[in-house]
């Protein structure tokens, strides 16, 4: 199947010139129809940039060849403020992807700009071999967000690095080697985290590292089991469900049976290092698991002597609305928690939190991170936590997330031939697009690309994810307003009303 836009004579977009003409037409028409809210007392500056042709030339010849832009005609972003960004032409966009779930409290938040400026003029970097105040203040503030038994922190620079370190920590502490994760998961691009991942597009055709195993992803929409009574979301899948209402989820038990098989057939009995999972899958398409899957998996792993690792890189710091950490919604206390992205609002900062007993396993050798926990990063991380608390951003995530989820759920019911599923919590929302509502076959890649382009041309920047790249990911800064939600739903309604699958 090909794709089409409801623009009469434009059935296929086959050349860059046609794409450009359609994008320009859409920009002129839609920009007059939908107006984004404006920030009070803020006027974006004017910047001179390279033109797109020159940028593409340097990109094509000299920049990482895997570094792809998400749009056919990308805007050149030059400025950001809170939930908005502007391009070189002064056009405003609502950032609904937040730099891939990273801009937690808003672009160039005034308090962060001040903290960064003050600290940069005071003490930018010195080795953690020396004593400086910022790392201790941040440690105390961060650990104050955790249960008391999670009382040791290791600072690093990225989510991949945090998860790589968590694997090492689990192996050292348990004196076992085998790690288990979910199919469809993503935990980073370092050697061990790449092997840990369960999405083929993130794997190179070379032998993977040993000691990594995958169990079935418990997906109530696309998986073998599950349906309309299974997940912790305001919007349930439309799939029929045999589960009784409440906590007795039969789908959860069936997915746990697959984990049981992995534990009894693939790994040495009682000799696993750990199980790592996100409370809601991130890159895997914002999949929410059947009720009690996480708590039951936790029990199984502990019975086998393994450590339970919660990857909070995308779900942490209040994004899901109901809790500060995603694992709290599942009623467990993990052995190790990893975090990045929102911890620094875009500044390269990450951390691993664990117990004193597990942390002591690192004493078997020396371990050092040159930039982890440097004064500049710690000052920013500390300020991010204060902003989330002072400005009630977790609460706002819950309020605006509910409004957006309910509105998108209505659009799913209105456009079932393209929107297969809507799910999420707080401001972590996925929209799974399909080609066929009965088979749930993913939307054609060109069709998905055209929808992304239309969102952008209407002033909304969104993300994509899922094993087939068919899930719209919505993770705006947590300062999103009710007016932003309203215009998002208006634009989404218009775009899905104009989309047509073409044979």
Q: Are 2 and 450 within 8 A, CB to CB?
A: no
CA–CA separation, 196 vs 210, rounded Å? 10
> Looking at the structure, do residues 78 and 116 belong to the same domain, yes or no?
no
The pLDDT of residue 262 is: 96
> Looking at the structure, do residues 197 and 322 belong to the same domain, yes or no?
yes
Lowest mean pLDDT among 44-48, 167-171, 438-442: 44-48
> Looking at the structure, do residues 190 and 333 belong to the same domain, yes or no?
yes
Helices (H) and strands (E) in the chain, counts: 14, 18
> Looking at the structure, do residues 188 and 288 belong to the same domain, yes or no?
yes
pLDDT greater than 80 at residue 12: no
The pLDDT of residue 379 is: 98
Spell out the residues 6+ positions from residue 83 whose beta carbon is closer than 8 angstroms to its own: 94, 95, 106, 107, 476, 477, 479, 480, 481, 484
152 inside domain: yes
CA–CA separation, 450 vs 272, rounded Å? 45
pLDDT greater than 90 at residue 212: yes
The pLDDT of residue 17 is: 36
Token digits for 25? Answer: 């037409």
The pLDDT of residue 247 is: 63
Q: Are 45 and 79 within 8 A, CB to CB?
A: yes
The pLDDT of residue 246 is: 56
> Looking at the structure, do residues 276 and 412 belong to the same domain, yes or no?
no
> Looking at the structure, do residues 333 and 298 belong to the same domain, yes or no?
yes
Please tell me the total count of domains within the chain.
3
Q: Are 45 and 489 within 8 A, CB to CB?
A: no
> Looking at the structure, do residues 260 and 130 belong to the same domain, yes or no?
no
The pLDDT of residue 503 is: 61
- For residues 446-472, give the mean pLDDT: 95
> Looking at the structure, do residues 444 and 467 belong to the same domain, yes or no?
yes
pLDDT greater than 90 at residue 7: no
The pLDDT of residue 46 is: 85
Averaged pLDDT of the chain: 91
pLDDT greater than 80 at residue 153: yes
The pLDDT of residue 6 is: 36
354 inside domain: no
230 inside domain: yes
Strand 92-95 with 152-156, pairing: unpaired
Q: How confident is the model at residue 185 (pLDDT cuts 50, 70, 90)?
A: very high
344 inside domain: no
pLDDT digits (tens, 9 = 90+) for 84-110: 999 999 999 999 999 999 999 999 999
Domain residues for the domain of 230 are: 159-339
> Looking at the structure, do residues 141 and 201 belong to the same domain, yes or no?
no
Spell out the residues 6+ positions from residue 182 whose beta carbon is closer than 8 angstroms to its own: 198, 214, 215, 216, 217, 218, 277, 281, 284
Lowest mean pLDDT among 130-134, 249-253, 339-343: 249-253
pTM: predicted TM-score of the whole model, two decimal places:
0.91
260 inside domain: yes
287 inside domain: yes
pLDDT greater than 80 at residue 126: yes
């Amino acid at each position: 199947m090909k794709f089409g836009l409801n623009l009469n004579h434009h059935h296929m977009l086959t050349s860059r010139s046609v794409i450009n003409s359609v994008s320009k037409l859409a920009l002129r028409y839609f920009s007059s129809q939908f107006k984004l809210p404006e920030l009070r007392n803020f006027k974006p500056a004017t910047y001179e940039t390279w033109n797109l042709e020159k940028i593409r030339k340097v990109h094509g010849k000299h920049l990482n060849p895997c570094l792809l832009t998400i749009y056919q005609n990308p805007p050149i972003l030059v400025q950001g403020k809170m939930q908005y960004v502007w391009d070189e032409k002064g056009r405003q966009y609502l950032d609904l992807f937040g730099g891939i779930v990273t801009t937690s409290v808003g672009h160039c938040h005034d308090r962060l700009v001040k903290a960064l400026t003050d600290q940069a003029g005071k003490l930018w970097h010195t080795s953690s071999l020396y004593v400086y105040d910022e790392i201790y203040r941040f440690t105390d503030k961060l650990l104050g967000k955790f249960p008391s038994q999670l009382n040791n922190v290791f600072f690093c620079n990225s989510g991949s690095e945090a998860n790589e370190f968590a694997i090492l920590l689990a192996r050292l502490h348990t004196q076992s080697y085998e790690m288990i994760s979910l199919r469809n998961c993503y935990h980073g691009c370092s050697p061990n985290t790449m092997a840990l991942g369960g999405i083929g597009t993130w794997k190179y055709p070379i032998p993977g590292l040993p000691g990594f195993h995958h169990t079935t992803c418990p997906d109530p929409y696309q998986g073998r089991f599950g349906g309309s009574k299974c997940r912790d979301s305001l919007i349930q899948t439309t799939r029929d469900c045999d589960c009784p209402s409440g906590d007795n989820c039969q789908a959860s038990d069936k997915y746990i049976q697959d984990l049981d098989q992995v534990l009894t057939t693939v790994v040495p009995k009682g000799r696993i290092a750990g199980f790592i999972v996100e409370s809601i899958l991130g890159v895997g398409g914002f999949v929410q698991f059947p009720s009690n899957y996480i708590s039951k998996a936790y029990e199984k792993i502990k019975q086998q002597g393994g450590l339970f690792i919660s990857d909070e890189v995308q779900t942490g710091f209040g994004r899901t609305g109901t809790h500060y950490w995603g694992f709290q919604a599942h009623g467990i206390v993990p052995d190790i928690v990893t975090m990045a992205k929102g911890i620094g609002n875009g500044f390269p900062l990450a951390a691993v939190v664990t117990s004193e007993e597990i942390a002591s396993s690192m004493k078997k050798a020396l371990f050092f991170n040159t930039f982890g926990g440097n004064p500049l990063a710690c000052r920013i991380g500390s300020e991010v936590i204060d902003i989330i608390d002072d400005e009630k951003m977790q609460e706002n995530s819950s309020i605006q997330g509910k409004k957006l989820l309910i509105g998108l759920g209505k659009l799913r019911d209105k456009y079932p031939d393209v929107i297969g599923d809507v799910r999420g919590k707080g401001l972590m929302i996925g929209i799974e697009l399909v080609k066929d509502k009965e088979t749930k076959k993913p939307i054609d890649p060109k069709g998905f690309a055209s929808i992304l382009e239309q969102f952008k041309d209407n002033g909304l920047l969104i993300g994509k994810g899922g094993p087939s790249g068919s899930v719209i990911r919505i993770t705006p800064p947590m300062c999103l307003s009710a007016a932003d939600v309203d215009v998002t739903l208006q634009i989404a309604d218009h775009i899905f009303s104009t989309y047509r699958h073409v044979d």
